[in-house]
Amino acid sequence: MSTANSAPLMRSRHVTYFVQHGTIYAYHNLFGYIIAMSPDLAAFLEFHNRAAPGGAPRTREEADARFGKAGQGEWDAAQLDEFITVFRLFSCLIESDEAEATSVFSMVPVRSRWLVYHAPGPAEVTLWRTDREGRTLIDPLVPWASRLFLRLDGAATLSELTDELIADPEVGPALKASGDPREHVRREVQRWTHSSQQYCKLSKVPLAKFGKEHQWPSYLKSTMPYAPWDPAKDPTPVDALDPVGVPLNPPHAYYETGVTDAAEQFASVETTLSHLFRSPHPLLGNASYGERLADAFWMRGLFGPHVRRIVEVGGGLGHLAAALLTDLRTRAPELYEHVSYTIVDLSPALRDAQRQTLMDAGVLDRVTWRPGNVETMDFDAGSIDLLVSNEVVGDFTTVKLTRELCGLDSDFDEPDLLPPPANDTIAFLRDHQVNLRDAPDPFFVNIGAMRFVRKLATALAPGGGAYISEYGEVARYPVASTQLDHLEFSIHFGQLAQVARHIGLETKVEYLHDLVGLDRSGRTLATTRTYFQNLRSMLGAFGITLDKVGYTDAMFVDLLGDQLDPESIGELRFDSVDERCMGLSPHEFKGLIVRRTAA
């Protein structure tokens, strides 16, 4: 047993919990620390909660008896040492309240990332934030607090900043006149670090000690707009990524019933690259994403005289369909008159939006809809000349597997005794010779996307082709995106291409920025979901409408016009378009092009 972990410990009263997709997060309201944990670790932390029934400061012996192998638990001494050390490092377990409260002055306040505020003067700050119900709130700071907020440079300690504030001739007298100035500062900063605000975090050392921003501890860069979780009242969360061998909650029902506002879905919930560039854009040579994709289709032979029957899976708001059909009408009017364009979509709200967009574009006469889930849908043999699936297949069924379950260490020689659906998944992978030798343990497979590609062997007409785009990599196993209100996964394009080649299709994987000719030298506004919502609300207060598009520096300045000085807005960030455009990273997006050879 470690002597460093032998003192009686209690759970900090500043710890609160949140949950997202089954993962529990402890947030420290005094310092801004964030730590993810499993339910058993949350139970261990609550064992030290003085406010819980039977809770009290606990000795190491008591923790051993409850959680150690020698007692009622499963952890050995080294594991307990590790957990206690980490919890003490993040101040989740402490020895006294007094030491915790006074330590804030020795720490370095760091202004949180992705804040939205208006600062027209050195002592004028108004913050915009989103509460847990999704409402945007306005928080004007008093002059001394405004001055303090703008001085949070990640270099000075709170004690040093407080001394500067007291000595400031403009705001110091008012701060001192209201009582103990250090206590006022402490309470204000404690309000800022609380999970309901998250205006700043506290660091034990200046930011320069960490190096560049990507080297900072993750809690200094993160916000956590997740649902609160009360261990005394709420059920133990189940990790949505835990089940092995079964579909991991594909969001089919979500799209059938959960999307009620189509425009807001793409503005606030899940934005696509094609949506950000749906209008002519300077980084696409003043063309739209759809226009550039049409160019790519002509250049790669996906568009041509053979194309009569086009199917798009997941039509978004209809902008891509409108652009592709408009291009055909302009370049090949005789071909356009014989084209049928079918959109397969689960969402009634999205289908209604698509219909309006296509009507506005004057191409509605070429379009029909096939409602339903494409994963369970069959297509007649040779019925498709071009299939388009733009940023959709990340929503298809994904299955978690293990190396043992797949028999990877025995060359698939184990008897086939696995129950479905894991057995069906593994059988598909074997039948299509998908290489899993480099698989981590455990790993995810895009089985829904693979089966979708499998359908193309018969659904595509001779000479027909398909375009499937999404975020992912050629050789990286799928990674879950847990920041949304539903699960999505990145795509292993190498494995999709293996399936396509196995069934006799020609394949090529290309970077999406190359396909559409994105000027990667440009910079665009970088946001998160809540940052965009708050920025939109702030600009709205000045009569400015912020749309969800890939704003360059110049486009954003033009948007503000004479109504607002961009220098007064914090924290505006313009990153390389390839690295971050709004909340997306264009370099992560790929396009798989497949063709069926002509008869």
Same domain, 64 and 160: no
Contact 116, 570 (CB under 8 A): yes
Residue 329, judged by CB atoms within 10 A of its CB (0-12, 13-18, 19+), counts as middle
Q: What is the pLDDT of residue 140?
A: 97
For residue 103, what is the DSSP state?
G
* Secondary structure (3-state) at 75: strand
Q: What is the pLDDT of residue 419?
A: 42
373, 167, 357, 385: which is closest to 297 by C-alpha? 385
107, 112, 124, 101: which is closest to 187 by C-alpha? 101
Give the number of domains in the chain.
3
Q: 244 in a domain, yes or no?
A: no
Give tens-digit pLDDT for 215-246.
999 999 887 778 899 999 999 998 888 888 88
Same domain, 145 and 85: no
Contact 364, 356 (CB under 8 A): no
Boundary-marking domain end, from 75, 103, 131: 103
Q: Which domain covers residue 94, as residue numbers?
A: 3-103
Same domain, 113 and 70: no
d(CA 175, CA 334): 76
Boundary-marking domain end, from 455, 483, 518: 518
d(CA 53, CA 140): 40
Burial 386-407, CB ≥16 within 10 A → b, else e: bbbbbbbbbbbbbbbbebebbb
Q: 304 in a domain, yes or no?
A: yes
For residue 216, what is the DSSP state?
S
Same domain, 13 and 117: no
For 517, phi then psi, to 5°, come to 70, 40
Give tens-digit pLDDT for 86-137.
999 999 999 888 778 888 999 999 999 899 999 999 999 999 998 877 788 9
d(CA 237, CA 235): 6
Same domain, 512 and 439: yes
Same domain, 384 and 295: yes
Q: 511 in a domain, yes or no?
A: yes
Largest CA distance in the chain: 88
CA of 346: how far to CAs of 315, 388, 536, in Å? Answer: 10, 16, 29
Same domain, 441 and 354: yes
Joined tokens for residue 279: 């209008």
Burial 189-221, CB ≥16 within 10 A → b, else e: bbebbbbebbbbbbbeeebeeeeeeeebeebbe
For 20, phi then psi, to 5°, come to -145, 120
For 558, phi then psi, to 5°, come to -65, -40
CATH number for the domain harbouring residue 286: 3.40.50.12710
Same domain, 305 and 451: yes
Q: 233 in a domain, yes or no?
A: no
Same domain, 342 and 447: yes
Same domain, 205 and 317: no
- First-to-last alpha carbon distance for the chain, in angstroms, is 74
Q: What residues contact residue 253 under an 8 Å CB cut-off, 6+ apart?
A: none
Q: What residues contact residue 274 under an 8 Å CB cut-off, 6+ apart?
A: 289, 290, 293, 316, 319, 320, 390, 391
d(CA 267, CA 134): 14
Same domain, 25 and 150: no
Q: 445 in a domain, yes or no?
A: yes
Q: 541 in a domain, yes or no?
A: no
Q: What is the pLDDT of residue 1?
A: 46
Q: Which helix (H) or strand (E) holds 364?
A: none
Boundary-marking domain end, from 103, 133, 165: 103
Q: Can you tell me which residue has the tokens 């992912």?
A: 472
Same domain, 152 and 93: no
Q: 525 in a domain, yes or no?
A: no
Low-confidence ranges of the chain (pLDDT < 70): 1-6, 52-55, 410-422, 483, 599
Q: 225 in a domain, yes or no?
A: no
As a residue count, the chain comes to 599
303, 314, 330: which is closest to 275 by C-alpha? 314
